[in-house]
Amino acid sequence: MNKFIPILAILVGYSTAMAAAATRDVGHDQQQGVRNHPRRRHLLLEENIECVLYLKDIQYEDGHGEESWSCEFTYEQSLEWFGGRYDIMDIDGVSTEEIESTGVISGESIMRVSKGGFVEENNEEGKREVIMVVPTDATVTFLKLSENDVRHARARRRNLASSRPGTTLKTLVVRVIDKSGTQIDADSTQLKDDVFEDDVSLRSQYSACSKEQIIIEPAYDYGDGGIVDVKIDIDSVQGNEKELEKAAVAKAQELFGGTEGLAKLFDLVMFCLPPKTGNWVAYAYINGWRSYYNDYWCQSVSAQMHEVGTFLYTK
């Protein structure tokens, strides 16, 4: 097992047996940020490190949306390398246009970095971020995952579905409570109603739209009928939804993920983040298992359906 050493951590990447889609060198003008800052920690990755590409789709209250690419490591890698603090992060050094020009599909493709890649933890006061950094002299390769690869989004769905008939999506709803006790107004009873039980809920609408082929099923064995509370150790402030996201996932993994993590137990995990972070509505990673909602938007059936729809995305 690899261990972190001071400042840098050497990480061993997974090997893969797939055909290359595109390869190129990262230009010097694409790398950003000051790297030698006392509040920034760099975790160096071993050569040919791989992560699964996910397209993040975020919606705002004024009606516009934004998309950006992120890199996800496995739950096992997250535990070993990052202490379970995070597993998915933004990418610095490769543009959205360049990634998309290779024809990658969210949750079904990987990015391999030849050498020098590192994860940057920015712990400046009021701005704590985690970024996957691609260095200027690295060669980047984009690969399509085999559908039998356990990291492939469809492989994960098949493994989960094998224990349940039809398209039944076992769903956990996480009500996130910040350090000061700030949380959404809806209690577990109200959230159960909004997501699972009301005549106009996420469950009823997907059932109707799919002619009962898609069933949103509560994770009954957890919390109050699939609604659980997670207390994190940071406060909700303007613009820190990424920090809240990572803290909430890490704590939920610890409390409810068991030995293999949330992604192995649930089809969908919906995180209701506390207020004060900004004017965004909700976001999710296309083909991924997690979605995030800003304050009262967690009760909005239209927001729920849009984000859960990213899990059901097919190209």
Taken in order 226, 194, 311, 159, is the CA torsion positive or negative? positive
Task: Please state, in angstroms and as integers, the Cα–Cα distance from residue 267 to each residue in 61, 77, 191, 219, following that order.
Answer: 27, 20, 18, 10
Q: What is the predicted pLDDT for the residue at 34?
A: 35
To 10 degrees, the CA torsion angle through 136, 33, 282, 51?
30
Which residue type sits at 207? S
To 10 degrees, the CA torsion angle through 71, 74, 77, 78?
70
pTM of this structure: 0.85
Q: What is the predicted pLDDT for the residue at 22?
A: 45
Q: In terms of Cα–Cα distance, which of 106, 86, 101 is closest to 41?
A: 86
DSSP run (H or E) holding 81: helix 75-82
Within 8 A by CB and 6+ apart from 92, the residues are 31, 32, 33, 120, 131, 132, 133, 134
In the chain, what are the helix, strand and coil shares in percent, each to the nearest 5? 25, 30, 40
Q: Which two tokens stand for residue 261?
A: 């993590």
DSSP-derived 3-state class of residue 46? coil
Q: What residues pair up with 68 in beta bridges, in sequence order? A: 56
Task: Please state, in angstroms and as integers, the Cα–Cα distance from residue 33 to each residue in 114, 243, 304, following that order.
Answer: 21, 19, 35
Q: In this structure, are residues 292 and 245 in contact, taking their beta carbons and an 8 Å threshold?
A: yes
Within 8 A by CB and 6+ apart from 294, the residues are 241, 273, 275, 277, 278, 280, 281, 282
Q: In terms of Cα–Cα distance, which of 73, 115, 121 is closest to 243?
A: 121
Q: What is the predicted pLDDT for the residue at 253?
A: 97
Burial class (CB in 10 A: 0-12, 13-18, 19+), 4: middle
Within 8 A by CB and 6+ apart from 83, the residues are none
Q: What is the predicted pLDDT for the residue at 160?
A: 65
- Helices 202-209 and 301-311: crossing angle, nearest 10°? 60
Query: In the chain, which residues have pLDDT < 70?
Result: 1-40, 124-127, 158-166, 313-315
